Amino acid sequence: MIQCAMVYFTPSKADSSPFAKFWKVLIVPKTLEVVPLAIIALLFSLQASAQPPARQGSASGIPRMPGGKPNLNGLWQAMTAAYWDLEDHSAQAGPVIELGAIGAIPAGRGIVEGGAIPYKPDALAKKKENYANRLKLDPEVRCYLPGVPRATYMPYPFQIVQSENDVLIAYSYDSAARIVLTAKHREAELDSWMGTSNGKWEGDTFVVDVAGFNGRAWLDRAGNFASDNLHVVERYSMLDPNTMNYEATLEDPTVFTRPWKISFPLYRHREAGARLLEFKCVEFVEDLVYRDAEKKPTR
């Protein structure tokens, strides 16, 4: 048990503080015997924060590909309430009364570093308008493609398929998928929902540069959004065999006053028979999307 806890803690020394905090919260109440270790780990993390960035993201005891790169392959999912709202939020009633507690919104710690998204004043007004009209405007309601980074923290798993060079990420939601090119990069030629992804390894961290967005995707169900000027840099770092840290920097001078960051852990699905299953949601929204067209009286 102690050894196991050590494995879990060792990588956190290389990690930024929100994540170290997360583990402290998660593990301490569960297994009291690791409390001293938590303190040691915390000390380690304080010590590590003074170290040069080159050592960040390197973890021992993680699966590796032939050739030595970390092996990110697997079925992953976030365990946050960020899909409702990237920022801190209380539990509250959901937008559809009929769904009762099923559709209610769980409370959640935000995943935004620094707490709040740095909107420009106009953009903040638009965010509020989005929120007020979210049942009409949220692309998820109509089963539109999720965009990046939203796809990563939706309440559905996704599969990373990592080859020796390129990496494919297949999301359960809407069968969305994207190729991350590492060998031969591709410029974004056309704007799209999922953007154009190019990847590289920085030590043990897989860094993905995503650009060429069409500006139509939202960031969550609370109306947070970006424009077609969005540029995302994602960082995937294995922490132990079954946990990965995900970090994304969002830069969009049209909407935000400065670049800002989200980070949270991703967990491996380990249940028997776990595999990526379809969530082709288009057919679940047709009664909604085509309601008006079908009801229109014959002219």
Partner 1 sequence: MQATYCTAVCVVSLALLVPAASGQSSQAIPPSEANFFIGTPAGWAQPKTPWGDPDLQGIWPLNNVGFVPLQRCYARQRYPGADPEKIANCDPNKKFFTEEEFKVLQETASKQSDRFTAAAKGGEAGRAFLTGIVDDMTPQRQTSLIFDPPDGKLPEMTPEGKRLAAQMKSTWPLPGENPVWDSYHDFDLWDRCITRGMPVSMFPFRYNNGLQIVQSPGQVVILLEMIHDARVVSLDDNTPLAPAIKQWMGLSRGHWEGNTLVVETTNFKAGASATNTAVIASPPGNRFPTSDQMKITEKFTRINDQYLIYEIKTEDPVVVTRSWTARFPLKVEPNYKLYEYSCQEDNRMVPDWISVSRAERAGGKPDASSTPPRR
Binding site for partner 1 (CB under 8 A): 63-67, 71, 73, 139, 142-145, 159, 161-164, 166, 168, 170, 174-177, 179, 186, 189-190, 192-194, 216, 241, 272-273, 275-278, 280, 282-283, 286, 290, 292-294, 296, 298-299
Count Cα atoms within 13 angstroms, Cβ side, for 190: 3
Nearest approach, Cβ of residue 276 and partner 1 (Å):
5
CB of 86 closer than 8 Å to CB of 78: no
Residue 108 CB, shortest distance to partner 1, in Å, is 28
Q: Indicate the residue among 31 and 192 with the shorter CB distance to partner 1.
A: 192
Query: Cβ closer to partner 1: 163 or 254?
Result: 163
Residue type, 3: Q
Task: Between 66 and 121, name the residue whose CB sits nearer to partner 1.
Answer: 66
Nearer to partner 1, 182 or 245 (CB): 182
What is the closest distance, in whole angstroms, from the C-beta atom of residue 107 to partner 1 in the complex? Answer: 32
Shortest Å distance, C-beta 194 to partner 1 = 6
- Distance of closest approach, residue 92 Cβ to partner 1, in angstroms: 29
Alpha-carbon distance of 259 to 188, in angstroms, equals 20
Q: Which is nearer to partner 1, 42 or 167 (CB)?
A: 167
149: left (phi over 0), alpha (psi -120 to 50) or beta: alpha
For residue 150, CA distances in Å to 67, 85, 140, 145 come to 31, 11, 10, 10
- Distance in Å, CB of 70 to partner 1, minimum: 13
Instruction: Specify the amino acid at residue 41.
Output: A
First to last CA, the chain: 73
Closer CB to partner 1, 14 or 145, in the complex: 145
> What is residue 106's three-state secondary structure?
coil
**CA torsion, ordered 194, 195, 200, 205, to nearest 10 deg:** -40
Neighbouring C-beta atoms of residue 273, cutoff 10 Å: 5
* HEC assignment per residue over 208-224: EEEECECCCCECCCCCC
CA 132 to chain CA mean position, Å: 24
